[in-house]
């Protein structure tokens, strides 16, 4: 177990030394809040939260119409009243 931990720590240390520092400076620009941030949040919420609700409503409406059509097509037996 100790041997595995030594290898893991050595591999982690080498990986951290191998990373170029300019990558971390470039990624800092994604943390800034700009005027486009609320618009981006709205589009994200629209696609991930509201779109499935719209799809669900369309499917419920579609299958509700199919049930009405099947009920109308069902043959009635003589003497039975619905």
Give, in order, the Cα–Cα distances in Å from 9 to each of 1, 2, 18, 20, 60.
12, 10, 14, 19, 55
The domain spans of the chain are 2-73
Q: Which uninterrupted H or E stretch holds 65?
A: helix 51-73
Q: Residue 14's pLDDT is what?
A: 78
Query: What confidence tens digit (pLDDT) does each residue in 2-58 have?
Result: 888 888 888 888 777 766 665 555 556 666 777 888 888 889 988 899 889 999 999
């Amino acid at each position: 177990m100790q041997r595995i931990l030594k290898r893991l720590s050595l591999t982690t240390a080498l990986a951290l030394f191998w990373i170029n520092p300019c990558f971390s400076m470039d990624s800092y620009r994604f943390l800034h809040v700009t005027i486009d941030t609320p618009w981006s949040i709205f589009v994200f919420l629209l696609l991930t939260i509201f779109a499935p609700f719209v799809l669900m409503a369309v499917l419920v409406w579609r299958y509700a119409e199919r049930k009405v059509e099947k009920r109308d097509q069902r043959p009635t037996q003589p003497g039975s009243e619905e």
